Structure 1
Amino acid sequence: MELGTTLIGIICVAICAMPFVLTNRSRKKIVKHQLIALKDLAKQHNCEITQHDIYSYYAIGIDEFNNSISFISKDEEAVKEQFINLSTISRCKIVNISKSRGKSGKQIDELYLKLSFIDKTKPDIMLEFYNTEVSYQLGEELQSIDKWNKIINNLLKVKE
């Protein structure tokens, strides 16, 4: 009788743990795929990724030796790849687009890292870190965008 109860308990635990295991494996597969895509983008421009962050909807990497950024974002329709040479950039700034939601206050709708060119005739580059149209819940994007804003601005200061 105890063997049957133990066996049922083990089976129940395995069934309850299965969604977590499958989610974790799926996440690792996505991260691996995006890291390969990020490294390939950098390699196309004769660069290597020395530091990176990978999330569900975007991946960003930097080559600190060649002062370049590789950025990949994806939504339901397409994958967008951007390669930026920081020697052509004058400044980096966070753009937070929020809307008022009544009593609940403001809610962030979009987060971008805005890169402005030294040549003012060129349009700014907007790297999308968060958009409510793509992801309904804001996760680690705020910490990530702050981190990358600091990294890029530090490299821009060293360049001066």
Structure 2
Amino acid sequence: MFFQCAIIQYLNFKKMDLGVALVGALVIVACILPFIIMYKTKKYKEEQLLEELKNTASEKGFLLTNYEVSGDLAIGIDKTSNVFCFCKNVRDNKSQEFIRLNEVKKCSLINLKNSTGSQSIIDKLALSFEFKTKTNPSISVVFYDSEQQLQLSKELQLIEKWYSIINQKIKA
């Protein structure tokens, strides 16, 4: 009789362990799954944006030899045609620019900040292109705008990198 009670208690304990383990596993999956879905969705959107930029560049006769995607913007350059390509999609508001760098006189980095006390917050990051001919108006390519995007991610590093690449191409 004693052994039967001990065996029954042992089996009930094992059932409880299995139940607790299953509930714990389900809670962990429920916590991790939203992050996985967000990551996959972000990567899919980035791939779609890059594909759109490549297709549009190809239609215009350009081949992107160097390109990069970050969040809602895709940028690239055709080194043989010396063309800078830019595509941005914020809240279904798409903008594309294809700029022939041999027609550009000057490229400037615009970093608008809002200073409050000892802190400064970046409001806007853009590249401004001034052309050699006066008939072409200046073009600003916005990488980040605090009114359209909640937070700054890699845009600062990205704009500095591409500012350097573009100025090397303009001087060449």
TM-score scaled by length of structure 1: 0.90
Question: Does the 8 Å contact 2:107/2:129 carry over to 1?
Answer: yes
Question: Does the 8 Å contact 2:131/2:137 carry over to 1?
Answer: yes
- Aligned to 1:134, which of 138, 145, 148? 148
Q: Distance in 2 between matches of 1:141 and 1:36?
A: 20
Aligned position for 2:138 = 124
Aligned position for 1:148 = 162
Q: Is the radius of gyration larger for structure 1 or structure 2?
A: 2
Question: Does the 8 Å contact 1:41/1:81 carry over to 2?
Answer: no
**Percent of pairs identical after alignment?**
33
Q: What secondary structure does 1:29 align onto?
A: helix
Aligned position for 1:39 = 54
Task: Map residues 1-160 of structure 1 onto 2, 5 A cutoff.
Answer: 1-76=16-91, 78-101=93-116, 103-158=117-172
Note the C-alpha offset of 1:77.
5.7
Deviations 1:38-94 (A, max 9, x none): 101211221111121222332111111211111112333621111111111122110
Corresponding residue pairs, total:
157
Q: Distance in 2 between matches of 1:28 and 1:56?
A: 8
Question: Does the 8 Å contact 1:41/1:70 carry over to 2?
Answer: no
Q: Distance in 1 between matches of 2:113 and 2:18?
A: 58
Give the residue type in structure 2 aligned to 1:21. I
Q: Distance in 1 between matches of 2:17 and 2:94?
A: 54
Note the C-alpha offset of 1:17.
0.7
| Bigger mean CA offset, 135-144 vs 91-100 | 91-100
Note the C-alpha offset of 1:104.
4.5
RMSD (Å) for aligned C-alpha atoms:
1.5
Unmatched 5+ stretches in structure 1: none
In structure 2, relative to structure 1, the CA distance for the partners of 1:34 and 1:118 (3 Å cut) is same
Q: Distance in 2 between matches of 1:6 and 1:138?
A: 40
Question: Does the 8 Å contact 1:58/1:71 carry over to 2?
Answer: yes
Q: Distance in 2 between matches of 1:27 and 1:114?
A: 28
Higher relative contact order (CA 8 A, sep 6+): 1
